[in-house]
Structure 1
């Protein structure tokens, strides 16, 4: 039986949407745990594709266990044809990513660095929207920069806030830190803008993003072992199976000996998420790729509160998604401050402070912003090691927090 994940009963209505998705069909095969049998079924499926007239398809594979076919279709009837081919396990979509504004609010002040920061050789990679070139303080820390997004389609707000949180998040938010370090940054612009008010919009396909991540990590992994990846697929809630993107990140981390940090995801129906919770359901569980087993998943706590805030200081943020992960793995493993919000949807004086593209202080909320705080703490431990060891750093940090 072939599982088709993205179609309902109203086929006529679904057919109108095919222009958007017809080139993003993802086919997965059954795995018989035998190389010869798997090869036979792959050849059979490809033969059937040709017999049914499918000429536009490509193989995508990572290692021995991650294999897909990307197929171009023209109508719902093509999906029906595909589902009739023996050996196809599932038919799904390659997801698309773009930057979504988390509602950053300017505070009206600029950041004047007061503390002295010890410059280190430890490198942190940020795969995101690209750090603003207008923010000179952050630019001084960038040792490598690569862009896969045309300049016209870039919106550097998200990555700039993340980079400022990694470097100066404690000082920006009035959190004491002794002997703070300043890290070297590898800046990868991979996610395009989706906010039409700031310029042209675009998306990047899941398969394209996978290719970029492997290319970049392969190139820099000899020195850059720590990676911040603040993305999530809201409609892929963790269930009994690991997501394709989560499995891909596990493959990358194992192959190149790197550590990814991933937000647990933001739950949009946060007004019902008081603390302690008044209800319990599965809709607020972590989302892909936070279900990566090797990756460290980060939830959010409230740093500030008010009379009208949904939760109080040090309680889980109302938008922070919960575990468990695949197979009841402990997810998120770590939490840090990511902001709070009021019952009237205001984040004023409740959000985390970071820097905008020009170096001014802004407020924002989300697990995207709690994640780089954990990245900084992990990098601080890693930097102190004479013999660098990611697994030992991971064990020390998780052990310390427990």
Structure 2
């Protein structure tokens, strides 16, 4: 297809959509071979437009079809085989033995699928193939077998076969890490006394051997909660915030801590909020106290109100309180988007077969307080397939994701007024489908499915694992701490701008979400995965410029951006990315939640005088303002309508040809527009501009 997939149209023609791929290929099943209704539409379209009509009948439907053909044997070769270089039947060596998973199409009721899989298995066994395991569920039908390449070639021609692929590769590293003892653990690095602090607003943080010397202090809010982490969640969050990717560190035999910790215990030993305190007042006391007492400027709130799913309207008091604190205290607050188990009961298999479409369901919108605009909201990406060696032999235990695809539990945006939320995504683990226990299993259950972190009861074991956006949020806090290490006096707006400006949606996520569209991809992944190297450094082919500033309401600023000669020349792809972060006053009772608006434009090829004349406020005697020709305006993507709804705005212009005609200076215009917050005189902000040359320079 070239256009929309129109699944309902196909169903009306008696055709069932069996699969859809990132390249817009559909596999359709016809219950009757002559496909009369479909052919009738094609014939009507080919006869052309009737008299008095502009288009042929069924134009929207048929014009979206690029080509039609039968499923070929090579189309049945699975993605893991393709990654190993298998592209055609002849790539399978006839006498070589292969261990494979064979899946059949979901062609209808279970009895039909049972009969068909039995036929294929009998054929395999008659040809001396060894069948090791089989699984038939509500929609998945597959078996594992050891076959010769010659037999695989034959099976690839059978119409009922959907794919033949290598089995998923189990994750051995995590299992080994979970068994590490203190004596076997790598040495810890020392941290300076002025290293950045990350405040964990959670269930407390225990004196784990890897944390004890870097915990600056802890409080309970209210005080009678104490500070001990009995529930365990806070220590797990702290482990990720301090180490970032702990699994990768253990793999190279070093434990490098990136920040110190302070903690506020705001939930009890069962993970529930205190009955006697309002959550907004707890948040204000916890964050203000840690900021004043310890100088903490980065906070992780990996908690959520499970009873309040954001419906696209107004945010709640918890979100508004976090936005107010971020502005008042100039602190970076990082919030997880929340988790949802996508399927259960009789629909459990849909966690595999319906992924990633269920991420867009209304029930999967993020929890309060993830709609806060002045905070960084974080969704989750998967770290891989998540299978462990113990389940590798079972053909029914299936992975849902690959590396850097959206986590199947991650909740989505957009935020208030359509703002881009989550702001970014980070690694948060995955889920696996396990029909033996009839549930989806995350890292708490199967270590390899989760993010490796610290266990709160460290006398029992040092490490544990978990799956959730609760583990993605502290990864972003780790990055924020590294930025503050380099720029100790950076404003919260600058830290937010550097983090979002470094983010990019990974290729696997783009491919997996392509069929859902650009808006869906942004609602699931925000601006993308944080790249710490890109956020904190420049290099030979990439320079990052930044400014921290403030503007009076209804005023604008113009920044000159120098464009080097090497960037102007038409040598390869070049990008300019602009990111603006500001922290307006908010009022959660209003539909226009933010009290001040900001925006930017990137101008090239004209003199600053014309820019000032175009944008300045004009008196009645001044006459009409001079227009800026369209050629002067850089075509930033996403456009202003999409990006200006949030308080962190990021957009990119890409050049593929030479731009020498536009000179060596571009101009960034930043505007501050007044809203209901007339009591505010000036709005603080930060802007980050990245020039990236993809060719060697």
Fold shared by both chains (TM-score > 0.5): yes
- Which digits, 9 at most, give the CA deviation of each residue in 1:64-91, with x for residues without a partner? xxxxxxxxxxxxxxxxxxxxxxxxxxxx
**How far did 1:238 drift?**
1.0
Equivalent positions of 1:34-49 (< 5 A) are none
**How far did 1:395 drift?**
0.5
1:369 & 1:302 partners in 2: Cα distance?
11
> Counterpart of 1:183?
259
Cα RMSD for the two superposed structures: 2.8
- Which digits, 9 at most, give the CA deviation of each residue in 1:55-113, with x for residues without a partner? xxxxxxxxxxxxxxxxxxxxxxxxxxxxxxxxxxxxxxxxxxxxxxxxxx993333613
Cα 1:353–1:251 change in 2 (3 A) is same
2:256 & 2:471 partners in 1: Cα distance?
19
**How far did 1:118 drift?**
4.6
Q: Do the aligned partners of 2:258 and 2:481 also contact (CA within 8 Å) in 1?
A: no
**How far did 1:289 drift?**
0.4
Equivalent positions of 1:191-210 (< 5 A) are 191-194=267-270, 203-205=273-275, 207-210=277-280
Structure 1 portions without partners, runs of 5+:
1-104, 196-201
1:386 & 1:245 partners in 2: Cα distance?
28
Q: Do the aligned partners of 1:117 and 1:179 also contact (CA within 8 Å) in 2?
A: no
Residue in structure 1 matching 2:306, options 215, 231, 234:
234
- Which digits, 9 at most, give the CA deviation of each residue in 1:284-319, with x for residues without a partner? 011100011111100111112147112122111100
2:375 & 2:427 partners in 1: Cα distance?
19
1:278 aligns with 2:357: yes
2:263 & 2:357 partners in 1: Cα distance?
41
> Counterpart of 1:107?
178
In the alignment of these two chains, the number of paired residues is: 291
> Counterpart of 2:243?
168
Residue in structure 1 matching 2:234, options 155, 159, 164:
159
Q: Do the aligned partners of 2:430 and 2:449 also contact (CA within 8 Å) in 1?
A: yes
1:334 & 1:320 partners in 2: Cα distance?
12
Q: Do the aligned partners of 2:225 and 2:265 also contact (CA within 8 Å) in 1?
A: no
2:227 & 2:318 partners in 1: Cα distance?
27
Q: Do the aligned partners of 1:264 and 1:297 also contact (CA within 8 Å) in 2?
A: yes
Q: Do the aligned partners of 2:399 and 2:433 also contact (CA within 8 Å) in 1?
A: yes
Q: RCO greater where, 1 or 2, for CA within 8 Å and sep 6 or more?
A: 1
Q: Which has the larger radius of gyration?
A: 2
Q: TM-score, with normalisation over the residues of structure 1?
A: 0.66
Q: Do the aligned partners of 1:238 and 1:287 also contact (CA within 8 Å) in 2?
A: yes
SS across alignment from 1:136: coil
> Counterpart of 2:284?
214
**How far did 1:217 drift?**
2.5
2:212 & 2:255 partners in 1: Cα distance?
22
Residue in structure 2 matching 1:224, options 286, 296, 305:
296
1:392 aligns with 2:494: yes
Equivalent positions of 1:2-401 (< 5 A) are 107-110=178-181, 112-114=185-187, 116=189, 118-119=191-192, 120-133=194-207, 135-147=208-220, 148-151=223-226, 155-174=230-249, 180-194=256-270, 203-205=273-275, 207-222=277-292, 223-239=295-311, 240-270=313-343, 272=350, 277-279=356-358, 280-305=360-385, 306=387, 308-344=398-434, 345-347=440-442, 348=446, 349-359=448-458, 360-401=462-503
1:366 & 1:157 partners in 2: Cα distance?
14
1:179 & 1:172 partners in 2: Cα distance?
10
Cα 1:281–1:182 change in 2 (3 A) is closer
**How far did 1:397 drift?**
1.1
SS across alignment from 1:164: helix
Q: Do the aligned partners of 1:117 and 1:182 also contact (CA within 8 Å) in 2?
A: no
> Counterpart of 1:66?
none
Q: TM-score, with normalisation over the residues of structure 2?
A: 0.39
**How far did 1:168 drift?**
2.0
Q: Do the aligned partners of 2:246 and 2:453 also contact (CA within 8 Å) in 1?
A: no
Structure 2 portions without partners, runs of 5+:
1-174, 388-396, 435-439, 505-697
1:294 & 1:206 partners in 2: Cα distance?
28
**How far did 1:116 drift?**
3.5
SS across alignment from 1:340: coil
1:114 & 1:394 partners in 2: Cα distance?
32
Q: Do the aligned partners of 1:382 and 1:390 also contact (CA within 8 Å) in 2?
A: no
Of residues 135-144 and 391-400 in structure 1, the stretch that sits farther from structure 2 once superposed is 135-144
